[in-house]
Amino acid sequence: MTSLLGRLLPLFAGTRRVEDLFTKAVARLFERRPDICLGWLESLDLISASGEDWPRHVHVSTQRTFVRLDEHETGSRPDLIVEICCASEDDESEPYTEIVMFESKIGSVEGEDQLKRYAAHLNGVYGTRKTLVYITRNYDPKDEKTILAGIAENVRFVQLRWHNFYRFLQTVEKDALIEEVMLFMEEQVMARSYRFSTVDLMALSGVPRAFEIFDETFEGEVKAELENFASNKRKPESDALFNVRVFSRYVRVAPLHGEDLFCFVGYHLDDAEYPWIAVDLVAKPRAFGREASVAVMKKLVLHDNWEGYNLDDPREWAGVSRGISLATLLGEEDHVAAVKRFFCESIRQLREELTVFKNEHPELPWNSGS
């Protein structure tokens, strides 16, 4: 990483670390340069264009907590909220407040009914015009009618991609903070130009070879360890390319008790300069036995090189991960063998902790061999 934000990234924990750091940076940019904030939102018709010389005040907040509504399982904490307040000196003119609520996804996915909850909270706050924005790095379409069901007409839902913001920043007067934000976006593949470069073409020609090597590292002893760990129950591999497109990862998945607790092994193709290899144990929001599953994850975090994420947030996918950069293995004589060793070591560590955990919690619907 060459950007300052990139060098700060290791100080943030969890799978949402890129999103958390980047949200803070964008919020600071909007606070320092409200002209950037207003100009971008106006260009997208997310706020009204100012037709008068009335002062507009911009208030930016991050991770604001909303108390759980009666119809919801949990409260909400959207990434970023921008409030635009305007009042003229003419007593006959009505003041107005416009609100834009952002949920950002760079590497993670939407939580359980997350956008629907945010829309309901946005519906309940004062504002003459209110917009919920789902802004992502990758393509992730959502059903607007489902999200806005039962919501007032002055609340809108808009989907954006982060490359829209990058293109806007290319048109404005730069300062040090803008340049850092843009450089970080380039590093995190958020500045797509949608034009093939010669580097892209060379990379595409190497894709079949790369996937051949990936698949080889999943075979033999790794396949045996994973099937033994999960009682020979692995999910079909037909969704492998979907995972690459949506989650930027190429993995093999093994359920431990249904979809509530599962393990995946493979390659993370984002969030770093080079791909990472990792083994993850994951529990979904509102999973059956989630509290018990999180307890064993917290034990795993005590082991070297295991990192937990969202272990105390029931609204998010929780998990532990053991991973290393693929670049650290380039000095090995046999790269496939080195990757296999790492996968097998990690799976065995999971199995050791999970064997005790399984005996302590027989009420969970375990696969017979997990």
Structure confidence by residue, pLDDT tens digits, 296-351: 899 888 888 899 988 988 888 899 999 999 999 989 999 999 999 999 999 998 88
So what's the pLDDT on residue 163?
A: 92
So what's the pLDDT on residue 343?
A: 95
In the chain, beta strands by DSSP E: 56-62, 80-86, 96-105, 129-136, 155-161, 249-257, 261-268, 276-283, 306-309, 318-325
Helix, strand, coil percent content, the chain, rounded in steps of 5: 40, 20, 40
Q: Supply angle C-alpha 223, 226, 227, rounded to 5.
A: 85
So what's the pLDDT on residue 43?
A: 94
The answer on pLDDT for 99 being more than 90 is yes
So what's the pLDDT on residue 160?
A: 94
Q: pLDDT band at residue 15, thresholds of 50, 70 and 90? A: low
Separation between Cα atoms, residue 281 and residue 263, nearest integer Å: 5
So what's the pLDDT on residue 101?
A: 96
Summarize the confidence of residues 256-273 as an average pLDDT. Answer: 81
Please tell me the pTM assigned to this model: 0.56
pLDDT mean across residues, the chain: 85
* DSSP reduced 3-state for 367: coil
Which neighbouring-strand residues pair with 282? 262, 319
The CA-to-CA distance between both ends of the chain, in Å, stands at 39
Structure confidence by residue, pLDDT tens digits, 132-171: 999 998 888 899 999 998 887 889 999 999 999 999 999 9
Residues in the chain: 370
Could you write out the DSSP letters of every residue in 232-243?
A: T----GGGHHHH
Separation between Cα atoms, residue 331 and residue 354, nearest integer Å: 33
| Least confident residue range of 3-12, 202-211, 304-313 | 3-12
**Six token digits for residue 73:** 């399982």
Q: Give the pairing type, strands 80-86 and 56-62.
A: antiparallel
Could you write out the DSSP letters of every residue in 96-138?
A: EEEEEEEEEESSS---TTHHHHHHHHHHTS--SEEEEEEEESS
Q: pLDDT band at residue 232, thresholds of 50, 70 and 90? A: low
* DSSP reduced 3-state for 158: strand
CA neighbor of 250 nearest in space, from 278, 229, 271, 273 = 278
Percent of the chain surpassing pLDDT 70: 88
Q: pLDDT band at residue 370, thresholds of 50, 70 and 90? A: very low
The answer on pLDDT for 225 being more than 70 is yes
User: Which value, to the nearest 10 degrees, does the dihedral of the CA atoms of residues 292, 13, 64, 182 take?
Assistant: -150
Structure confidence by residue, pLDDT tens digits, 22-81: 999 999 999 999 999 999 999 999 998 775 566 788 999 998 888 888 888 788 889 999
So what's the pLDDT on residue 369?
A: 46
Separation between Cα atoms, residue 71 and residue 69, nearest integer Å: 6
So what's the pLDDT on residue 271?
A: 54
* DSSP reduced 3-state for 87: coil
